[in-house]
Structure 1
């Protein structure tokens, strides 16, 4: 019990950076209801981010700002273009802005509620484009179960609370946003990566310098790495995360295995 309490405080202080901000975080967590509450992070320039109780927002907050699984393995050039595919409520976009203040950021999130909160979280960051869409193997429209956990909305999942959303291929997304070359793509699309890589056209990979792909048990890492190597990447399992493949067009990174 004591160990759990110590871990809770330690994690909170890692997020907030000071006792006063940590106490504000605990007040937000104990406030009840699902209304978004402000949380002030150790990143002073970013101000507050917004979190909903009773959802997966808090573990996502910890995963993003404490563990940083989404960050690129390789250094990025000045003024990089970063695509956050599966942006959830925007925490990763806030973190990208902190680490890459001169980046152009493009976020894609398919759930309406997550997208609304992400819009609130990135307000004021500057040079951020946030789209509500699903990245898929073909353009059109897809459906998903809106009653799933806020960090686990998946295209084609069953359930009574079905919602529709526009679907874009990666090529269409890059064209729509006017991106000729993406320096980094973070891809976390809750299983849709299988259809994207097995059924979709893959010419868009030639427009990407570095990519991180969370697998969700849908693809076998060795097969995906082989495919990425066919498209000119070096590829490896990401040692920072149990089910992620990273690929890049430069020198091997120290966190790969």
Structure 2
């Protein structure tokens, strides 16, 4: 069972206990009550500033994945991250997590959906080392548009379109993102892009993939059949060790 399903299926009582254990009684109860009462946004003090959570949306589950279940609490061996790419940044929770854990790192947070992007900018406003980019990663620099498949704010997908089509925006390859930073390698590449990993790992990955030290990837075969097959074929011979954590694969370059 992946972490999203475990969050949804566990009892409310158990979840409250997890909040208390993680955040302390008073902070946990304030946050739990705030999330349950009314509409609008709940707030949570994290790091330098206030983090915003849209009530009644998948923001709550995304928050729990990252800050309650510690999905990105990974052991990065032999790497002092200087460049982190958060592909599919949603509203910025993972970027904030990385910014507080690796304060010396530059974080490029890529998110295509407009409302998510606005909240991403709001959540990360106190972090000059987080660069928010309104785009999506693909296997080439092209034009895409956002598609709402009814999966919530963390489940928007993208599809190819013409540059003048309604909703079109400029997408970018990971190679272009890397070149734009002026750096030669990506220390951590987090990828939660709702099926677009199939395109990313089909073509044009050969020149940037060898320059990635750690990848955190969620594969979405439930959205695009054959995604895992394409991914595992792409990483053949790349000398990654692989482990699972929650719904993610954690790949670390063996040196």
What is the 5 A alignment of 1:87-166?
87-146=89-148, 148=150, 149-156=152-159, 163-166=167-170
Aligned to 1:175: 179
| Unaligned runs of at least 5 residues, structure 2 | 1-9, 161-165
Deviations 1:138-194 (A, max 9, x none): 21210122473101011129xxxx733221011111112223211110111100011
User: Does structure 1 residue 216 correspond to structure 2 residue 220?
Assistant: yes
> Is the CA contact 1:182–1:208 (under 8 Å) kept in the aligned structure 2?
yes
What SS is found at the alignment partner of 1:50? strand
Distance 1:178 1:6 in 2: 48
User: Does structure 1 residue 203 correspond to structure 2 residue 195?
Assistant: no
Aligned to 1:13: 20
Alignment: residue pair count: 237
User: Does structure 1 residue 187 correspond to structure 2 residue 194?
Assistant: no
> Is the CA contact 1:107–1:130 (under 8 Å) kept in the aligned structure 2?
yes
Distance 2:78 2:43 in 1: 30
Aligned to 1:38: 43
What is the 5 A alignment of 1:70-89?
70-75=72-77, 77-89=79-91
- What value does the CA root-mean-square deviation take over the aligned residues? 2.4
What SS is found at the alignment partner of 1:74? coil
Report the TM-score when normalising by structure 1: 0.82
| Unaligned runs of at least 5 residues, structure 1 | 252-257
Report the TM-score when normalising by structure 2: 0.82
Distance 1:71 1:205, change over 3 A: farther
Aligned to 1:254: none
Q: CA deviation at 1:93?
A: 1.0
